[in-house]
A and B are shown apart, each in its own frame.
Chain A
Amino acid sequence: MSVDTAQRPTGPAPAPSRGKRPSRTGSGMVGSSQGGRWWLYLLLTVALVAVIAPFVWMVLGSFKGEGELRQVPPTWLPESASLDNYTQLFSKLNFGQYFTNSIVVAVVVTAGNLVFCSMLGYALAMLDFRGKKAIFIAVMGTLMIPGVVTFVPLFVLVANAGLIDTIPGLFLPFLVSPFGVFLMRQFILGLPKDLLDAGRVDGAGELRIFWRIILPLCGPALATLGILTFLGSWNNFLWPLVVAQSEDKYTLPVALALYSTGQNSTNYGLLLAGATVVIIPILVVFLIFQKRFIEGIATTGLK
């Protein structure tokens, strides 16, 4: 314990400098050896295996045949791996269409949020205009309202607009989000305001300043918002379940949910392959952007 505390002269405790994290070169300073405690590694590894196991089992299971999946006790590695489940998924069950629908909805929703939320976020952060305060209060006030409150009227609205069972009906209600505005506004508040004046001195119009000067500096915030929005849309389940009524409008989660309770509910291999198809794309996106992702969650503090 406390090996390297020795290098610190005894005396009055140093005044803590709160705020920025000090250099943590001595990570082992809380009394561990160089690599940390071995039993902690063991514990964490066991936990990691437990957390990851369902995914591994899912992917492995998707290559198994029906007979093997029903076997008691269950097997880990497939005895005879085949792609049958996947070929069935895309030939017999039209998963290609659901995949396309999911992508289209997620891309449109993400684009809408990036554009509209950054526009308002910029206006709220840097510009002065009538009604600014009212907009800000209204948007922030809805941040805490649970989705279940707006669900019924939203359905009525979309039904009256004739958008039930259409692709626009799937994405229109999600094109903007109060959270997106909050995120963008907070980020843009941190940018130097001199940027505006520089642009104005150069004779750039107000919209051009936003588009050419501010937006290119918003990369990190846009990336965070974009990833979170895409993820939310991809996994969104309840709304598409209610709105998409004919089979060619299903998104992936809807199709999987209906198949897992419908006539294919006993076709285990097919369901596991379907679950894999739902999870793998988002997993790839996550692995590519994971650093930004985790930083975003840590700083915005929201899922």
Chain B
Amino acid sequence: MTAQTGTTGSSAGPVTPPPVSSPGRPDDGSSRGRGDGGSLGRVGSGRRREGRAAWILAIPFCLLFLAFTAWPVIQSLFMSITDTRARDLRHPFGVNVIGLDNFTKALSDPTFRKAAANTAYFVLIGMPLTLVVALAAAVALDKGITRFRAVFRLGFYMPVITSIVAVAVVWRFLLQDPGGLINTVLGWVGITGPNWLGDPNWSMPSLILMATWRNFGTAMIIFLAGLQAVPAELHEAAAIDGANAWKRFRFVTMPLLRPTLLFVMVTTAIGYLQFFEEPFVMTKGGPLNSTISLSMYTYQQFGFGNYGLASAMSYIIFVVIAIVTALQFRLLRERT
């Protein structure tokens, strides 16, 4: 620590490393310099100087944050109880407060309900699938093999970094019927593949498949980090006690992986509950609204100019996300 201080500070001249108990280390929020007597004369002005410097550093962020994050969050809440429409943009005071009408309207809208059901379908199938694939890949890379680990890790992670629009272009070709690559490959083994994106029964499974392909890499990397934190001694001890590979995984690895699992579940669920881009670029919500999602329907209402209604819907999504997150914390925290 001191050595590092010396080298970095040396550009400005010789440095005497300060005593550890010197003032000005407000790491625990206690006001600096109080009660430890060192260099009393500097404390008052130093503290003011520090406060001023801190604000100079904080101001740019705070201004941008207020304008582009905090204010929209509040305005969205306000809009959700008004009948704001696109044409009210120029007359912001012409809107009427209509209470919770937007919320009741959204919740009784059959398309909104359909979108909610689709989103639930996507999350309930897509999230476990993504997690299982990611965990399997992580376990295989962590314990099963010793060579080419980096290559596999890199390859599996690649879809994560790619643009959804570009991916959609490619996947539309792959899923084409007839003549798509996937149905051609299925044809080799004698299976007649369905019209993936054109059949209302298969459109959602297609999107789930694509989302899993595109997202399991992130979960895999986080699982890998979690797995590598499991002490090898525990496995050895369990092996001595006669536990086979599956039992070691189930009773040694899994309990220790619980925090990681919780984290991955929560972030995946939050992402999937907002799923939007896949149907937007692949199916436009069709066929027969079979892939329209909550976020996408909200966006459509925005497109129609129904800003108040769209805001109400966005807050409904937010509340659902908050509830699902809280539930997951409960479920996975309890038994630790």
Contacts and interface: CB of A to CB of B under 8 A. Distances in A.
B62 A128 contact: no
A193 B196 CA distance: 58
Contact of A192 (B1, B158, B229, B232): B1
Given A172-B68, A198-B5, A200-B24, A152 B310 contact: yes
A151 B179 contact: no
Given A150-B72, A176-B65, A194-B2, A201 B18 contact: yes
B56 to A, nearest CB: 7
Contacts of A154: 68, 72
A52 B155 contact: yes
Given A150-B73, A237-B165, A176 B64 contact: yes
A72 B173 CA distance: 12
A148 interface: yes
Contacts of A61: 173
Contacts of B140: 40, 43-44
Interface in A259-294: 260, 268, 271-272, 274-276, 278-279, 282-283, 286-287, 290, 294
B146 A35 contact: yes
Given A128-B50, A135-B58, A152 B307 contact: yes
Interface string A65-82: 000001011100000000
A206 interface: yes
Contact of A282 (B20, B25, B161, B248): B161
A128 B231 CA distance: 39
Nearest to B267: A302
Interface of A: 1-2, 5, 8, 10, 13-14, 16-24, 26-32, 34-37, 40-41, 43-44, 47-48, 51-55, 57-58, 61, 70, 72-74, 112, 115-117, 119-120, 122-124, 126-133, 135, 138-139, 142, 144-157, 159-160, 172-176, 178, 181, 189, 192-207, 210, 212-213, 216-217, 231, 234-235, 237-238, 252-253, 256-257, 260, 268, 271-272, 274-276, 278-279, 282-283, 286-287, 290, 294, 297-299, 301-303
30 contacts: A8-B236, A16-B233, A19-B229, A29-B235, A43-B140, A55-B170, A61-B173, A74-B184, A116-B61, A127-B53, A129-B55, A142-B69, A148-B276, A148-B314, A149-B314, A153-B75, A153-B79, A159-B89, A173-B68, A192-B1, A193-B27, A199-B12, A202-B15, A204-B12, A216-B8, A238-B299, A275-B170, A294-B221, A297-B218, A297-B221
B144 A217 contact: no
B64 to A, nearest CB: 5
A197 B79 contact: no
A134 B57 CA distance: 15
A149 B170 contact: no
Closest A-B pairs by Cβ, 7 of them:
A206-B53, A298-B225, A129-B54, A128-B26, A275-B166, A153-B72, A36-B145
